Structure 1
Amino acid sequence: MPAQITLDIDYDFDFSLVAISCFEWEYRLAWLINKKLGSNLVRDEDLEVRFKSDQSYHALYTGACNDGECKLALIKNREADGIMMPELVQIDYMLKIEDAYSNAEDYVKKLREITQIQGAYLIDVEKLRYKEYLITE
């Protein structure tokens, strides 16, 4: 009988995640964030999410801050064909921030200054059930 090998991958979730409630279309929100943060979010390939029998595609915008020190990813949580993070059903978008030199709360404060955003707050990534879907690279 052949030996069975199990590959156990342990991801490093070394990023901050901001939950955003906003009724704007994703391209408009990306533009507003670019304008406020001085970033360069651009449309990327949709993020494919597979549950047991369902599959959904979520809009993804990636880019960097104006100083190039951080990487950003704007992900649409709710699409017509499914929700990416079921435990965050009330959230429209998530902004993933990979920045070792800055406080994520600074980004939240700037996002809250955008009038079209109804709410923005930090999420504890470790508490998310499907956090592996946030790996965009």
Structure 2
Amino acid sequence: MAVHKLILDDDFAEAEYTLIAIHCNLEDYRLAYLLNKNLGISLTRKKSDLKFNKGVITYPIYHWDDEKQQVSWHLVSNICKTEAVQEVDVNSLFSNNQKVIKTSFLLPEHKSVNYFLKIDFEFSNNKQKLLLNNILNIAQIATAYSLSANQVKTKEHLIFS
């Protein structure tokens, strides 16, 4: 009996999206407000955060569905800080517990990025430059730039549905 083997290319499973890295020191709600105001969009916070490690690590996420153009926009934080109690191993009569703040990253290969704006649509170069210029016009944003799909190693972290 003949065996038929199907091989799917990596490009087949690759979704089209535009990913913008944003560097700023703003709180997530403030950045969402400024992006809404300057880009004419309506990002709102989702009821549940993006959760990893059984809910220990959470990333706030904002979402907007542009029904006119049938495009989904997501703003997600790249940084999650959690507080843990660590026992210090010192010879003492008293217990020495110390609070430690651990930092986790949604995309660990881009640790310097504060937020990602993911748009489930691949813009042309001109429209992408226009979008980036509008984001860079926000005074509180230090810098913003586009990332291509091959610059992201943990693509599975960008699936928000």
Whether TM exceeds 0.5 here: the answer is yes
Q: Which residue of 2 aligns with 1:113?
A: 137
Alpha-carbon distance between aligned partners in 1 of 2:114 and 2:19, rounded to the nearest angstrom:
13
Identify the residue that residue 97 of structure 1 maps to in structure 2: 119
TM-superposed CA distance for 1:71, in Å, is 1.8
Partner of 2:85: none
Asked whether the 8 Å contact 1:39–1:64 carries over to 2, the reply is: no
For the aligned residue pairs, the C-alpha RMSD in angstroms reads 2.4
Matches within 5 A, 1:14-93: 14-44=16-46, 45-50=48-53, 56-65=57-66, 68-69=68-69, 70-81=71-82, 82-93=104-115
* One-letter amino acid of the structure 2 residue matched with residue 111 of structure 1: I
**TM-score (norm: length of structure 1):** 0.81
User: Counterparts of 1:49 and 1:130 in 2: how far apart (Å)?
Assistant: 13
Unaligned runs of 5+ in 1: 1-7
Secondary structure of the structure 1 residue equivalent to 2:22? strand
Q: Which has the greater radius of gyration?
A: 2
Measure, in 1, the Cα distance between the counterparts of 2:130 and 2:120: 13
* 61 and 14 in structure 1: CA distance in 2 versus 1, 3 angstrom threshold: same
Contact 1:62-1:71 within 8 A present in 2 as well: yes
Residues 132, 54 of structure 1: alpha-carbon distance in 2 compared, 3 angstrom cutoff? same
TM-score (norm 2): 0.70
Identity %: 28
**Counterpart of 2:138 in 1: which secondary structure?**
coil
The alignment of Structure 1 onto Structure 2 pairs a total of residues equal to 127
Q: Contact 2:18–2:122 at 8 Å: present in 1 too?
A: no
Match of residue 125 from structure 1: 149
State the alpha-carbon separation in 2 of the partners of residues 49 and 105 from structure 1: 33
